[in-house]
Structure 1
Amino acid sequence: MTELISFNEAQQRFIQTFESAGAPVRVPLGDAIGRVLATPIQATFDQPPANQSAMDGYAIRYADAAPGVALPIQQRCYAGDEPFPLEPGCATRIFTGSMIPSGADTVVIQEDARETGECVMFETPVRPGTHIRRRGEELRMGETLVNAGTRLQAAHIGLIASQGIATLDVHPMLKVGILTTGDELAPIGGSRGATQIYNSNGPMLAALVAGLGASVTRVVHAKDNEGALTQLLSELHDACDLILTTGGASVGERDLVRPALTSLGVSFVVSGVSMKPGKPISLARYGTTPVVLLPGNPGAVFTTFALLATPLIRRLQWRAECLPPVTRLPIDFDARPDEARERFLRVRLDTSSGQGSVLRVAAEQGAGNLLTLADASGLSQLARGQSIARHATVPYYDFAQWLV
C-alpha cells in the first residue's frame, strides 16, 4: 500500500473525484419524499393569498372600538367563506383562517369579547392591527421555496403542496451495489461453522445506504477467491452507479479485492488513510464508477462509511451540501497523543447533566464491536499528535446528520 494520506485530504478526494450523472426525472409529489430536487421550486402565489385572521374573534375597524360599545355583528364568516365588506360601526364574526373583510383593520380575540344578542362588546382596550396574517407575510409569488440539491423531507413536501404543485423534477435514484468478502463470514439465517461469524456488514451497509435515500441494487458475497471477486465486481459495475466492498482492502496474503480490481483495470484515487479505525479504506475508479473499499471489521466499516462514503454518495446524488456540519463539544476523556493516525471514538451525546452537552466515550472501541456502536450517537475526532484533556472540546460528527 502506498503512503497514507490525511483524513481531510481523503474526504476531499471522495467528494471531488467523481461527477454526478443521469438526467432528472419527473415524479408525483407523493413519490418525492427522500429524493433530491433537480429544479428549484418557486412560489406560485402569495402566502397567505389574502389577509387572514390568526385567531377566532371579531374583525372590526379600530376606530369603532371602545370599551362598553356594542357593535352589531353583520356576518359570521368561516374559513373558506367570502366576507362582505365591513360596514362602519359593525363587526364580523370570524375564525382562524377566515379572510379579513375589506374595511377591517383589527381582530379582537373571542376571549376579550362578549356577545349580547346580535352585538358584541369588548372587555379590554383594543390594540390596532392585531391578530391579522397579512397577504404575502410568509412568502411572495416567485420566491424560491426549495433549492435544487435539497433532499426532500416531509416539511418540504407540505410546503410544495401548499402551492398546489403536483409534480417535481428530481435526480434519478443512485444505484448502489454491495460486495462483502471473506471465508469467515456465514450468511444470515444459515448455519455457522465453528470458525465463522455471521455476515453483519451486508445488512448494515444496506440499511445505511437506504437511510441516505439511495437504492440498494444488489448485495452479494464472495469467498476469498480472486476469480469470484473479479466476476462479481464486473457484474456490479454493469448494474450500479457505486460499488461498496468490505474486507480484503489491505495488502495481506488473503486481501484479494485490490488485486481483483487491478486486473479489471481500475485506478486508485485513495489507497489508505491515516485514521483509526479504518486505515485500509480506499477509493478506486472502475471506468466511470467509483468503488469504495471499506475495511472488514463492522465498527471500522460503519465509521469509514459515515465519514468518507456518505459525502461521496451525496455528491453522486447531486446534493447541494456534501459535508454535514461538524460541531465542537467537551469530551469526558483523557487521551494520549497518537503520533501516527487521527482517532475517531464512538461517543454518546449526554445533555442530562444540567451543565451543558458532553460527549461520553464508549468503554469499548474495538473495530469489531457492534454493541457500543449501536449505543453511540456519533463520533468524536482526536487529532494526530495531540493530547486531549478531559472536558476539552473536540469535533463531533453526529450520526443524526451524517447518516441521512
Structure 2
Amino acid sequence: MNTKLNIWRLTPPQILVLGFAVIILIGAGLLTLPFASATGQSLSFIDALFTSVSATTVTGLIVVDTGSTFTTFGHIVIISLIQVGGLGFMTMATLVAFVFRKRITLKERLVLQEALNQGSMEGIVRLIRKVIIYSLTIEAIAAVIFTIRFSFDFGFAKGLYFGIWHAVSMFNNAGFDLFGTVDSPFVSLTGYVGDIVVNFVAIMLIILGGIGFIVISDMMDLRKKKKLSLNSKVVLSMSGLLLVVGALGIFIFEFTNIRTLGSLEFGSKMLSSFFQSAATRSAGPNTVDISALRQASQFLMIILMFIGASPGSTGGGIKVTTFMILISAIITMIRGKEDIVVFRYRLAKDRILKAITLTMMSLFLVIIVTMILSTTQDSSFIKILFEVTSAFGTVGLTMGLTPELTAFGKVLISITMFAGRLGTVTLAYALQPKQEKELFRYPEGKITIG
C-alpha cells in the first residue's frame, strides 16, 4: 500500500498552511547561516525562526534589529520572504507558471481561490495576473521616489537599495526597515517624522497594500464597469472612516504629549497622526515612540489593529468587511429590522454567521495568548495586549516588548502571527477532520437573550 503523502489530496486550507510553514522553515534555515549575520556568527534558531515567521506573515515584529543584525544576504532573504508572504506563495507559484507557460490546474485554482478569499474560481487566474502586475508596478513607482529621497541621505547606491527594499516592505504591510544601526537599533521611521515625501509615499503604499488586490482591480476597471462592487464600496468606505477616526484620535490624545507629538509643528502633528493611523491597519512602521504614547492612544491602536485591513490584501486582523457586518447587524437589531442591508444590498445569513465566528475565534485567540503571556512575561498588561494584538493583526508595532520576549514568548507570538496571517477560520478548516454530511436536523429551540 502506498502511504506517501499526496499533497494534492489535501484541502486548499491545508495546502496554504503547509505551504506557509515550509517557506517559514526554509527562511529560518537561511537566516541561521553565518554569512546572514553581520557578526559572522550564526543567529540562534529561535530568533531566526521568529524573524522568518514575522517576514513571511508580513508582520514586522523583530527580536533583533534588521538593519544592524543581518548582512545584505540576510536582508535579501527577509525581503524575499516578505514578497512571497505578502502576495501569497500560490501567487508566486502562478507567476513562475506564467513565465514557463504552464497550465494552471483545477486544484491550483481552488487553492488560489482560498488564498484570495474569493467566492468562486471564475476569473481567478486573470485576477492573479492583475495582482502581480499591479503589485510590481506600485512597488516600482514607490521604489523610484524612495530612491531619489534616500539618495540625499545615503548616496545613490545605498539610496537605490533602501528605496527598493522599503517599497516592497511598505506595500506588503510588513513593517521591516533597515534604518537601525548598532548604536541606534529599532528606530523605524522616527528620523522621518516630519518628512512629507517619505510619509506620503509610505501612507499610500500601506493603504494600497491594505485595501486588497481585489479592490485595486475593481477600481482599475471602474471606467469599463461604471460602478464598484459591494465589497469594494464597503472596503473603501470603512478603510477611509477608520483612517480618519484613528488619525483624529491620536492627534487629540497626543497633541500635548511632549514625548510624541507635543514637540512637533502643527503640520507634522497631523502628518504623524495620519501615518500612525494608517500603520495600525497592518503595516507596522512608526514615526513616533509607541511606548511613549498615552494609554488612550495605545488602546485605540489596539482596536484598529484588531480590525485590521481588507480581505485579499497583505494585511491581517478580522478585516474591515467583518467589522462592517458586525456594526450593521447591531444597527439592524436596534432598529428592529430583519435583514441586514448595506449599500442597498441584503446580506446573506451565512456571511453574518461567518463574520461572528471569525470575530469570536480571533477574540478568543488574543485573550488566551494575552493571559498566557501575562503569566510568563514580566511586563504590564497593556504592553502584552498590544504585542499580541499586533501579532494577530500582522501589524508589527510594539511598545518594546518583542526583544524582551522569553523563548516561550517568541514561540507563542510566532504562532499568533501565523494564525493572524492565514486567518483563524482557514486554520480551523485546515485542522478539522473530514466533514460528514448530517443526516438529520434537531428541533428548533429558543434561548432568552439580554
TM range (shorter): under 0.3
The normalised TM-score by structure 1 is 0.26
The normalised TM-score by structure 2 is 0.24
